[in-house]
Structure 1
């Protein structure tokens, strides 16, 4: 198995349109602004190059690790000692002939992405929000965003074969 950097990049970039829709004032944007204390004036004074640049970087980091969570074949590679060892093990090649494309669908990746969002991202957002004294609306809006993003990202990564 090789890391598919193009799939990771596309999955990372998919978070941007999701965010544009999710945080639009007609969807959850107005509620989010109220819950965070964000105002139009604060938003206009932000360094958008920095915000979007770091958003893409962080999304890329998330997508990178998500690849190992949604593609089961990486486990087989790890069991034989990694990609270098996998290239010389006949048992690995036999396994990949039989199961190399098993569960490599958008639907399956989306399921694992959803589970990662629900059981990993949402609790992280929730814990931080509790200590920051944020509301349940804040937790559900931000946690929901990550659940949707990770679902889409997982689907893209899993379905995209080299």
Structure 2
């Protein structure tokens, strides 16, 4: 783990803010606010704290993606995808790992919570879609920037 590219991890974590700005702003902001039942004024409250915590949490998530796709590729002990095998260090390959993490880890958690909170299908699509895109971009960044 001594070869970790901390800059790539930080950039990937910060990318969540850019994607979130677009996703929950011009792309799906109005629909998301309608589905959550909050107003724009409510959404603006406490933004610095939410941004800060979300970057910390994104850093934890990207560290997991990095560990499973770049360091081991999720395939120990033969290390087929390991840091020693650069043919897998592409943006596209990282996108695949990011999408896998989103579909097999984030999506089940988000959908289960939304079902018990009795949220709409549109709400689920907006939030799960965000994490699929975000994990894909984060995975691409860290895989290409080894």
Work out whether the TM-score is over 0.5: yes
TM bin, normalised by shorter chain, reads: 0.7 to 0.9
Partner of 1:29: 29
2:39 aligned with 1:54:
no
Unaligned runs of 5+ in 1: 81-91
Distance 1:75 1:66 in 2: 9
Residues 2-37 of structure 1 show CA distances to partners (whole Å, capped at 9, x for unaligned) of: 22211111100001110111111x311111001101
TM-score (norm 1): 0.80
Unaligned runs of 5+ in 2: none
TM-score (norm 2): 0.88
Q: Which runs of 4+ in 1 moved over 4 A?
A: none
Residues 53-97 of structure 1 show CA distances to partners (whole Å, capped at 9, x for unaligned) of: 1011011111111101222x4369x649xxxxxxxxxxx9xxx89
Per the alignment, do residues 152 and 42 of structure 1 end up closer, same or farther by CA in structure 2, a change over 3 Å counting? Answer: same
Residues 109-142 of structure 1 show CA distances to partners (whole Å, capped at 9, x for unaligned) of: 1111111112221111100101111111111100
Partner of 2:105: 120
